[in-house]
Amino acid sequence: MLGAALVAVFYRDGPFPFTRGRFSWGLAARVVRHRETRLATAGYLGHMWELYAMWAWVPAFLAASSEAAGHGHAFVELASFGALAAGGVGCVWGGWAADRIGRERVVVRAMAVSGLCCVAIAPLFGTAFALVAAVTLVWGFFVVADSAQFSALVTEVAPEGAAGTALTLQTCVGFLLASVTVQAVPSVAGAVGWRWAFPVLALGPAAGIVAIRRFARLRAGGV
């Protein structure tokens, strides 16, 4: 309700309005055929493969790791909060850095670090809780630091008159994919243990980096 009130009172059109157009199912096909939009969306899908599954299950991972190390659950809640809250600072960094080094570089760097955390967290399972918590803090910072850049990229490159459709497709498919990995992580943990539950999430950042690098080359005039 507060968010709605803020929009009602303070929202104004920005200085770069989009051309308004009528709804058309044909715009969806046009967006899918547009290579730059398709690659930016593919990068977003890699991001979404990892993000919500990490957010959903890192508390369970920390609890299992702490228990395996014989530490109990004294600081699990605090560490879990820190891992998620670090993303707020990460988003500020992502916006600041994108204006200075470019959106594509921010995305690639954030995905590289978060993907490495997906893998690095496995051998640390059951070790000193402070070390495990520190890695999840770094992971939480970078896992969402690039989030806003994907919608910005799509907005910048989408076919004229189809930005809204492009953003809608990107968001819908991204959250559909996220629902799959959120459900998959506990199944993996049940099969092989929490130690190896998160490395599978690294597939998302890896694929996302490939897509965004191709996007950057295409945007720069390459192929």
- How much is the average pLDDT of 112-124? 97
* Mean per-residue pLDDT over the chain, rounded: 94
Lowest mean pLDDT across 10-24, 55-69, 112-126: 10-24
Cα–Cα distance, 84 to 204 (Å, whole number): 19
State residue 42's pLDDT score: 97
- How much is the average pLDDT of 55-69? 95
* 156, 159, 165, 168: CA torsion to nearest 10: -40
Give me the numbers of helices (H) and strands (E) for the chain, helices first please: 9, 0
Lowest mean pLDDT across 10-14, 49-53, 79-83, 151-155: 10-14
State residue 123's pLDDT score: 96
Judged against a pLDDT cut of 90, whether residue 57 lies above it is answered with yes
State residue 223's pLDDT score: 64
- How much is the average pLDDT of 162-166? 91
- How much is the average pLDDT of 59-86? 92
Give the model's confidence band at 69: pLDDT under 50 very low, under 70 low, under 90 confident, else very high: confident
Which residue from 55, 73, 223 is spatially nearest to 144, judged by alpha carbons?
A: 55
Judged against a pLDDT cut of 70, whether residue 97 lies above it is answered with yes
State residue 222's pLDDT score: 67
Q: Residue 56 is inside which H or E element, if any?
A: helix 35-68
Domains along the chain with CATH numbers: 25-219 (1.20.1250.20)
**Are residues 27 and 161 in contact, defined by beta-carbon separation less than 8 angstroms?**
yes
